[in-house]
Amino acid sequence: MPKSSQIPGRDLNNGLLGSAGVMSFGDHLEDLRKRVFLAVIGLLPIFALAFFFGRPILSILIKPALVKLHEGGQPPVLQATSPFETFGTVVQIAIVATVLIGAPWILIQLWKFVSPGLYTHERKIVYLLVPFSAFLTVMSMLFLYFVILPVILTFFIGFNAQVAGEQSIRKAPIPEGIVLPMIPTLQADPINPPMGSYWINEEHMQLRVYVGDKDGKPNIQVSQLTTQTGILQQYRISEYIKTLLNMGLAFGIAFQTPVVIVMLGWIGILDPKTMGKWRKHAVAVCAVLGALLTPADPVSMVLLAVPLYLLYELGLFILRVLPIERVLGQSKLKQDQDAITPDQDPDDHPDPDEQSNE
């Protein structure tokens, strides 16, 4: 009897599937096609919801830039240089939000495809590391938004403003008979201002003029006030969001350092004692990553390099406190190690039908 071309599967509880549970190569492809289809279909409603909330999300993302521009004496506005730029930015945000929110659904489909081929201890490792990875991803986004981004914006807005320095404005006495008008400076807009009145809103550094009502709402025209500088900083909204999303991706990957260390340690590739001797190398790598993943200003480099090194130490600490034997139990680990390995050639086992024919 010719040998089967089928690929051995693995038992959901103990590792390899028995002779009655083999899957052909075509069955594997069909299962993969099914999982990909379900993953894509499941993302569609998430994308629709993310696009619906795209503008509020965009407002949240640009808020740090507006705040730091205002603090730097610059107009707190971003530019859209084409009619479709803001819409395209919202679509881009919706796609990224769909991937992030839909990641658990994608992982579920991936897990259903690969889990039949994993041993019990391998599945337990995944159960422990996936939530840890998700937690670190969320922490990386919060760290970027609340710590790194304000520092970066403050540094570069201040640096750009100091390039040209303050403009030298000539001063002269007021000519006779000239009286300079006084514009009131207010902390907030007045309620029911008279037609044609104007004032300076100190909070937003704007000259505001009330020109009547429009559609039942006050129609106030605005002129932005800036400091005396030779560089007016107004960033394109698409470029700002693109940079922010790229940094988010880089930070999300960098914050997976403990997950990678623990995983490689549990499967026996890395040794905690050996890695403890590599601390100097780890410091150098963290410094390089701090320079590559930030715009290379000294403050943001340090703010990223230090947490990365602490994450490296966290991975080593987890490996020392929770070795694989303690996580799985010595008896269960021994049982799985004694089982047939996935890489073992199925041809090493004689076909029962061939033995009976002999």
Q: What tens digit of pLDDT does each residue of 60-104 get? A: 999 999 999 988 888 888 999 999 999 999 999 999 999 888 888
Pairing of β 206-214 and β 185-186 = unpaired
Which residue among 177, 200, 224 closes a domain? 224
Q: What is the mean pLDDT of residues 299-321?
A: 89
> Residue 167's pLDDT is what?
66
Q: Are residues 319 and 271 in the same domain?
A: yes
Say if residue 3's pLDDT is above 50: no
> Residue 1's pLDDT is what?
40
> Residue 2's pLDDT is what?
41
Which residue among 206, 224, 242 closes a domain? 224
Per the domain annotation, does 180 fall within a domain? no
Q: Are residues 156 and 112 in the same domain?
A: yes
Q: Are residues 101 and 191 in the same domain?
A: no
Q: Are residues 127 and 238 in the same domain?
A: yes
Per the domain annotation, does 296 fall within a domain? yes
Per the domain annotation, does 334 fall within a domain? yes
Confidence tier at 13 by pLDDT (50, 70, 90): very low
Per the domain annotation, does 351 fall within a domain? no
Q: Are residues 122 and 211 in the same domain?
A: no
Question: Which H or E run contains 130?
Answer: helix 120-143
Domains held by the chain: number: 2
- Count of alpha carbons within 13 angstroms of residue 358, beta-carbon side: 6
> Residue 330's pLDDT is what?
58
Per the domain annotation, does 1 fall within a domain? no
Q: Are residues 34 and 111 in the same domain?
A: yes
Per the domain annotation, does 356 fall within a domain? no
Q: Are residues 319 and 189 in the same domain?
A: no
Confidence tier at 334 by pLDDT (50, 70, 90): low
Q: Are residues 118 and 158 in the same domain?
A: yes
Q: Are residues 210 and 319 in the same domain?
A: no
Per the domain annotation, does 79 fall within a domain? yes
Q: Are residues 139 and 264 in the same domain?
A: yes
Q: Are residues 201 and 279 in the same domain?
A: no
Say if residue 118's pLDDT is above 60: yes
* Percent over 70 (pLDDT), the chain: 83
DSSP 7: B
- Number of other CB atoms surrounding residue 283 within 10 Å: 15
Cα–Cα distance measured from residue 259 to residue 248, given in angstroms and rounded to the nearest whole number: 18
Q: Are residues 81 and 102 in the same domain?
A: yes
Cα–Cα distance measured from residue 101 to residue 90, given in angstroms and rounded to the nearest whole number: 16
Block residue for tokens 């996935």:
342
- Number of other CB atoms surrounding residue 235 within 10 Å: 18
- Number of other CB atoms surrounding residue 54 within 10 Å: 20
> Residue 126's pLDDT is what?
80
Say if residue 218's pLDDT is above 70: yes
Which residue among 224, 255, 274 closes a domain? 224
Q: What is the mean pLDDT of residues 220-233?
A: 81
Q: What is the mean pLDDT of residues 156-183?
A: 83
- Count of alpha carbons within 13 angstroms of residue 303, beta-carbon side: 20
Phi/psi at 224 (nearest 5 deg)?
Answer: -80, 135
Per the domain annotation, does 120 fall within a domain? yes
Q: Which domain holds residue 200?
A: 185-224
